[in-house]
Chain A
């Protein structure tokens, strides 16, 4: 890219923290007009937070925001971002399910009003859908709640590119292809290249490195809230990109695992489950003491199967067979895991309350003893286990949730992508503990979106559209195979 081009966005030293977590620790970012910028990094690296700052939905704690050459701090907001031509397609969908497609288009455009607004909004969004996704099959009068996830995503993307009286300079696409099939994803990426050539800028966030390498002009890599690399796309290849994202090289545990997976059938079966209502696909089997990986693209039924297994524990279920007590480690800590009003100790012991009883009353001494024990075993970094759980950083909160499950009587531990937003040091500590617990006979079912975590597993099941589509033993598991099964319709 030539240096003479106009700077659309320049962020300098942007920082943002949530409680004890540094989501952004001083980030610089430049976007030129007519440039497609790829943004990559692991979960929790701070990409989405950075985009929220740029879209005006989050105010940074400090740092400079320069848009179109003028500093905007202090007065920057969603409305200001819109006026300056910056749009964002967020990872979590931002459409109103109770409104029609045309009405949702109207929400983005204050200028669409007055007599006949409904028709104008409908034509605007329909034209844009036709332009980006020919043959989309969406009508402007459809209620969004009735549309499948992929179609909603198409509507939201098309909406971001519609123009009324406000200019359009930059569109941020946060994981835009996550719920699109390969054909529509391709249509979108081709469209992105087209409008970039017309002078509009794009920021593309994606886990699929092929998309980023193939369609972006420049790639920025983030890790732990910081930019660690920013170069022209041509200077990266898949390998250098992955290593820039901070993946530590494979360590030595693999050998021991191969040995264990060899005599798989000797151990009794703990879990046998088939995704409900998916008779076509395969079933998932876990033997005692195994670490089972659940893989595939995000949101393809892995969490649902874990919940199905969790609910089936202790009762009869046609599709699911579970032989022992089950505990679950939530990945979405705030929604599924943490009790925010409680201390760390209470959060750890809640799954084991019955063991604390003496004459029907919970004994604080027993609680404190269990909390102290697990503080030491999980190396939870806190001066006092009686501090509120929210005083911990995200990684240490996650350790407390692991302690809750591992400290319980559960023989089977389900993990729902538990390492989201956890730093690499914590991860390595927890991997060791999981392996040690598996050696002692516990069974782990581990859904993960991070490819290298699968190296810890004895057996990997790949999911697509809610079905188990592949069953890979440790020795046969490669990133290539997992990806191939995830996208079978492409191959």
Chain B
């Protein structure tokens, strides 16, 4: 199977790392001042919430679904975090718990009625957005101090976003890729019938995966307001696309339960850098939205190329 560097499996595994290195190198070349802990910190700050949202999306991808609502959901969490969690912490925690429960129910509904996840999550996108507008009608609110303190934490030597990214990647890797129940969760994406025939409940796996996605969506929203200190309903709308792109760039597949938490985190870092790089490279603001779509298409084109080699 291993035929050296041309091996598609190997290529696919290192594609995220290579693209990260390429973008980082390009930014350093254009602006050498970024090559310092403070510079890196600024560059990568927003990577933490994006990485968490990408992990959330990856859990959904692992069971062959797609979550178009994650952007609205992270926005809602941010709004709750900047209002209730600050003024009435207990109520805030209860509300965030309810959000996670709602995600799990969404997964159960999709499984129970065998519904297409795109339509259900697209409907939920508007529900989250609507609730967020009710919670916080105009931009504002304030993040609880403890969250801004965590996000502003400056460890010696290594910038915080890198520490956070490593922690996220390692924790999720062990929970999903190394634990004995993680095997069942991934198996449910690879061959649901086989998992059901071994006596496991597919409903439980869907519930677990959607609840995990909800949990990481909450973490993403809270870390986001830790950086922005205030919130608004539409604050995280681009996350839907970013999270899908990041997970796919990191080696996850749309079907078949093939996912990679480490890859997803690297993918999220790469995409955050890529959007930052657009300003460094003086891409006109008109084309910045389009460039995001373009990056996603380029990533998928590379993947298609590698996969074709695998078939051939």
Contacts and interface: CB of A to CB of B under 8 A. Distances in A.
Is there a contact between chains A and B in the complex with CB atoms less than 8 Å apart?
yes
Interface of A: 55, 57, 77-79, 81-82, 88, 90, 93-99, 103-104, 106-108, 110, 112-114, 117-118, 146
Interface string B171-212: 000000010110110110111011111111000000000000
A107 B184 contact: yes
Contact of B191 (A79, A88, A94, A106): A94
A112 B199 contact: no
A46 to B, nearest CB: 19
B309 to A, nearest CB: 15
Contact of A96 (B1, B178, B180, B190): B190
A106 B183 contact: yes
Contact of B190 (A82, A99, A112, A146): A99
Nearest to B1: A146
B310 to A, nearest CB: 11
B111 interface: no
Contacts of A106: 180, 183
Contact of B180 (A78, A98, A112): A112
B257 A103 contact: no
A96 B194 contact: yes
Interface centre among B180, B189, B200 (most CB of A within 10 A): B180
Contacts of B180: 106, 112-114, 117-118
B128 to A, nearest CB: 30
A112 B256 CA distance: 24
B181 A113 contact: yes
Interface string B256-284: 11100000000000000000000000000
A113 B178 CA distance: 11
Contact of B256 (A55, A98, A113, A146): A98
Contact of A79 (B193, B199, B258): B199
Given A98-B257, A112-B180, A118-B178, A57 B197 contact: yes
Given A106-B180, A113-B180, A95 B197 contact: no
B196 A98 contact: no
- Considering residues B186, B189, B194, B257, which has the most beta carbons from chain A within 10 angstroms of its beta carbon? B194
Interface in B23-55: none
Nearest to B255: A98
Interface of B: 1, 178, 180-181, 183-184, 186-187, 189-191, 193-200, 256-258
A55 B191 contact: no
Nearest to B200: A107
Contacts of A104: 187
A133 B257 CA distance: 29
Given A98-B256, A107-B194, 11 more contacts: A57-B196, A78-B198, A82-B198, A88-B197, A96-B186, A96-B190, A98-B258, A106-B180, A110-B199, A112-B180, A146-B1
Given A106-B180, A106-B183, A146-B1, A55 B194 contact: no
A77 B199 contact: yes
A103 B187 contact: yes
Contact of B196 (A78, A108, A118): A78
A99 B186 contact: yes
B183 to A, nearest CB: 5
Nearest to B193: A94
A166 to B, nearest CB: 10
A55 B197 contact: yes
Contacts of B178: 118
A93 B257 CA distance: 17
B186 A98 contact: yes
Nearest to A142: B1
Contacts of A78: 196-199
Contacts of B196: 57, 78
Contacts of B195: 96, 107
A82 B199 CA distance: 8
A107 B185 CA distance: 10
Report, nearest first, the 6 A-B pairs whose CB atoms are least far apart.
A96-B190, A98-B190, A79-B199, A113-B180, A94-B194, A96-B187
A375 B193 CA distance: 37
B194 to A, nearest CB: 4
A321 B70 CA distance: 52
A193 B196 CA distance: 30
Contacts of B257: 96, 98
B197 A90 contact: yes
B3 to A, nearest CB: 13
A86 to B, nearest CB: 11
A195 to B, nearest CB: 21
B1 A97 contact: no
Nearest to A159: B198
A90 B197 CA distance: 10
Contact of A98 (B1, B189, B193, B197): B189
B9 to A, nearest CB: 8
B187 A107 contact: yes
A99 B184 CA distance: 10
Nearest to A92: B193
30 contacts: A55-B197, A57-B196, A77-B199, A78-B196, A79-B199, A82-B199, A94-B191, A94-B198, A95-B194, A96-B194, A97-B190, A97-B256, A98-B189, A98-B256, A98-B257, A98-B258, A99-B187, A99-B190, A103-B183, A103-B186, A106-B180, A107-B184, A107-B187, A107-B194, A107-B195, A107-B200, A110-B199, A113-B180, A114-B180, A118-B178
Central interface residue in A57, A93, A99, A104, by most chain B CB within 10 Å: A99
A106 B182 CA distance: 11
A101 to B, nearest CB: 12
A94 B194 CA distance: 5
A94 B197 contact: yes
Contacts of A96: 186-187, 190-191, 194-195, 257
A117 B193 CA distance: 23
A107 B198 CA distance: 7
Contacts of B187: 96, 98-99, 103-104, 107
Contacts of B186: 96, 98-99, 103
